[in-house]
Structure 1
Amino acid sequence: MTTLVPAGPDFVALFTQFEHTAFRLEIRDRYNSPSETNRFALHRAGDPAWLDLDRVERADWFELMRTATGAGKRVERVRVVTEPHTDYIRFEADMTPGNLEAGEDIRYLPRTHPVVAGLPSWDYWLFDSRLVARLVFDDDDRLQGAELLDDPGRVVEHCVWRDVAWHYAIPYREYFKDM
């Protein structure tokens, strides 16, 4: 089955429905989220006000993650990144402590690592190793929604990619310790 779920409440509901694990593979060097436009501009300008704004604007996400991880669920991400980092990746990295405090485990994999060539060219969430939400973006890097896949063969393929990426990815604090 393939179903397209638009960005919004139906997509967010996926994070209340999983039972054990949610994993995201992030391949892009830029995400153009309308909710981040102001924060990103402040960050690029060196204005520390972006951080307070970030905590307010992402409060619902943080609460969702605290609820999930507080119930013993795991939320993990691997970010495949180009080095040197783009302005957006630096911004995203500076936002990451909020995600970590909310219970997410976020790791980084340099795009030059040999295993990256075997990973897909798209972002996805994998829920409980049984449902894939392949993320769909427009030409300006804005999330449009997710294509839901539950075909066992496709799910296993995404599980393998998760396992490979996770094995080689470097935890956030270790990856950025010298940067």
Structure 2
Amino acid sequence: MAQEPTLEGLFRQARHSAVHLEMRDGYMRSDPEFVSWSRAPLSVPARHDPASRPWLSLMREVTDRGVAVRRARIFSEPMSDYLRYEHHLTPGNVAAGEQVRWLPRRRASDLALPGNDFWLFDDALVLFLHFTGDGELSPEGDEERTTDPAVVRHCSMAFESVWERSIPHEEYQPV
């Protein structure tokens, strides 16, 4: 039986789009770089250089092939320290070709959203991401994949409704 591709492999297989909806106020707070940043924000540079952040190299590779990579973040205001950290790093993502937008949670109340963060590849495969209440990857399995057309359609519609209302990264400044 063939092994499913990794997240990186899914990006490399993508033909036209990869969209990501993030709905938590914090992730991986145990990350040593976040811990350093939370103690002294100016001590952690935004690092736009793909050599220092492998994710940026992957995004540049994928977007250079013409794949549109869009990320939308729903968040509470005032913004959590973790999302302030992500906002600090996001210019590197944008420079690597990702399009990133922010949607204050109060502006999302009437939207039908799935229960978990997800990546949607080529409007065909949904990769749900599972986290603990503290924002760490779930020990019971951190991802779930589906190609069910109804789930794909729901996630696509949810993402597009968030994207339409959200604020481009370049225009959003944390309160």
Report the TM-score when normalising by structure 2.
Answer: 0.86
Separation in 1 of the partners of 2:64 and 2:79? 32
- Structure 2 counterpart of 1:165, which letter? V
Residue 14 of structure 1 pairs with residue 34 of structure 2: no
Q: How many residues align?
A: 170
Separation in 1 of the partners of 2:7 and 2:135? 17
Residue 152 of structure 1 pairs with residue 146 of structure 2: no
Alignment of 1:118-137 (within 5 A): 118-137=112-131
* Aligned match of 1:110: 104
Residue 165 of structure 1 pairs with residue 162 of structure 2: yes
Secondary structure of 2:79's aligned partner: coil
The answer as to whether partners of 2:47 and 2:53 remain within 8 angstroms in 1 is no
Separation in 2 of the partners of 1:16 and 1:105? 18
- Structure 1 counterpart of 2:132, which letter? D
Separation in 2 of the partners of 1:78 and 1:122? 13
- What's the offset of the Cα at 1:88? 0.5
Separation in 2 of the partners of 1:116 and 1:17? 34
Residue 27 of structure 1 pairs with residue 23 of structure 2: yes
Alignment gaps of 5+ in structure 2: none
The answer as to whether partners of 2:27 and 2:136 remain within 8 angstroms in 1 is yes
**Which of the two has greater strand per residue?**
1
Alignment gaps of 5+ in structure 1: none
Query: RMSD of aligned C-alpha atoms?
Result: 2.5
Separation in 1 of the partners of 2:9 and 2:25? 26
Secondary structure of 1:16's aligned partner: helix
The answer as to whether partners of 2:111 and 2:158 remain within 8 angstroms in 1 is no
